Amino acid sequence: MDWQTTADAVPAGIVSEARAQSLMGRAPATGAWREGDPVGERRFVAIGDVPLETGGTLPSARIAYETWGELSPARDNAILVLHALTGDSHVIGPAGPGHPSAGWWPGVVGPGLAIDTDRYFVVAPNVLGGCQGSTGPASLAADGVEWGARFPFLTIRDQVRAQLAFAKTIGIDRFAAVIGGSMGAMHVLEWAIMAPEAVERIAVLAAPAAATADQVALNSVQIEAIRTDPAFRGGAYYDAPDGEGPTRGLALARRMAMLNYRTAAELNSRFERSWQSGLDPLGGGGRFAVESYLDFHGNKFTRRFDANSYLVLTEAMNSHDVGRGRGGVAAALATIEAKSLVLGIDSDRYFTLDGQIEIAAALRNSVHGSDPVLVHSEYGHDAFLIEHAVVGQALRDLLSA
């Protein structure tokens, strides 16, 4: 999902990928947070070895996280917020040292908002396999070299197992709510199934119960865009002699993803057939405005993300299936005891509404009945990040139940 919803305007004068690169300077080999970088608002906690669903372990893992608010003496007001594919622990707050972009949910989390930091202790970890402080491919392995392509395959369940260890380490046995959208909502479902005693409420925003063939296919072409970039070097690009990383492949993957996250109606309305500069693109000298929009955001993305992490997290999303080994999706969802909110978006062409309909129909304790809360929006999948009023009200309903 596109969590950079507050920076969608295309800067005037950007007419090509090369121009975007020149304005922003050459991209680094990786946009990952690295040891020695400014810490910002991050905290870190070691969680030890993480057993993996496919066998083996990830040794000596750590989780980077941020918190807001105060934990009550009874320790009963904690809310876990889980981010989507390209998000991280910086849910709210400005850009600055250690944080290349402002927080991704400022209209929902904060004092007096739906997830009220004056009332709740809000905890947001960076996912295992991510690139903003938690152990991931850009982290150093025991041999002092980045994990790179040696980083193990992770499933959504592996990442939740790490989150459970993280919660235990920081001393929280039960969350008042576990909330997430897109990839984060996949984690939410696994929390409710794997650790029902640790979850009072859940919010599943814009995610399916299992990744479909169509979703896997959309993800697969993004993976291939990165792997076929000559600068990918089999994942060992961190200290490339020429300083080049797979920025073209990662930017292309990001452009593809943005077409999943938004809608044809929005792009047509915003850009029509306009172009950047005074040159007609039909004559070969100009560029359509929508192309420049995708260029700019693709290139910007390479400055805050890591290509290997993108592969690890995308493949984890492909693994998502709450019914695996549990008798199928319906049987797995029927075991969920938590008070539940399921929210879907009518224009979502990535995680389509039928997925949320399936989840809502199977849950026993949904605060809105057997149908998902429906968001009407032109923004597609990204609406859960943008439509603050309806999303916020749905979350208020859940938290008051």
Mean pLDDT, residues 206-213: 98
CB 217 within 8 A of CB 183: no
pLDDT for 276 equals 72
pLDDT digits (tens, 9 = 90+) for 368-400: 999 999 999 999 999 999 999 999 999 999 999
Question: Scanning the structure block, which residue is given the tokens 């999902």?
Answer: 1
Residues whose CB is less than 8 angstroms from the CB of residue 230 and which lie 6 or more positions away in sequence, other chains included? none
pLDDT at position 154 over 80 = yes
pLDDT for 289 equals 87
Mean pLDDT, residues 2-8: 39
pLDDT digits (tens, 9 = 90+) for 255-306: 999 999 999 999 999 988 887 765 666 666 677 889 888 998 899 999 999 9
Tell me, yes or no, if 182 is annotated catalytic.
Answer: yes
pLDDT digits (tens, 9 = 90+) for 82-114: 999 999 999 999 999 999 999 999 999 999 999
CB 47 within 8 A of CB 169: yes
Would you state the structure tokens that stand for residue 188, as one six-digit string? 């939410």
pLDDT for 297 equals 87
CB 371 within 8 A of CB 339: no
CA dist., res. 387 & res. 114, Å (int): 13
pLDDT for 274 equals 82
Query: Average pLDDT over the chain, rounded to whole?
Result: 92
Which of the following is catalytic: 89, 101, 134, 182? 182
Q: How far apart are the first and last CA of the chain?
A: 28
- What's the pLDDT band for 233 if we cut at 50, 70, 90? very high
Would you state the structure tokens that stand for residue 100, as one six-digit string? 């290349």
pLDDT for 373 equals 98
pLDDT digits (tens, 9 = 90+) for 342-359: 999 999 999 999 999 999
Strand bridging mode 115-116 / 287-288: unpaired
Which of the following is catalytic: 88, 295, 348, 382? 348
pLDDT for 277 equals 64
Tell me, yes or no, if 2 is annotated catalytic.
Answer: no
SS3 179: strand
- What's the pLDDT band for 223 if we cut at 50, 70, 90? very high
pLDDT for 25 equals 62
Question: Scanning the structure block, which residue is given the tokens 């995610």?
Answer: 207
pLDDT at position 18 over 70 = no
Tell me, yes or no, if 381 is annotated catalytic.
Answer: yes
pLDDT for 279 equals 60
CA dist., res. 184 & res. 182, Å (int): 5
Most trustworthy range by pLDDT among 12-21, 141-150, 261-270: 141-150
Backbone angles phi, psi at 5, to 5 degrees: -80, -15
pLDDT for 16 equals 35
pLDDT at position 6 over 60 = no
pLDDT for 13 equals 35
Q: Which domains does the chain have, with CATH numbers?
A: 7-30+212-319 (1.10.1740.110)
pLDDT for 3 equals 39
In this structure, what is the dihedral angle of CA atoms 59, 228, 34, 305, given to the nearest 10 degrees?
-110
| Higher per-residue confidence, 205 vs 279 | 205
CA dist., res. 127 & res. 190, Å (int): 14
Closest-CA residue to 208 (of 367, 368, 353, 386): 353
pLDDT for 21 equals 40
Q: Is the dihedral of CA 367, 368, 372, 373 positive or negative?
A: negative
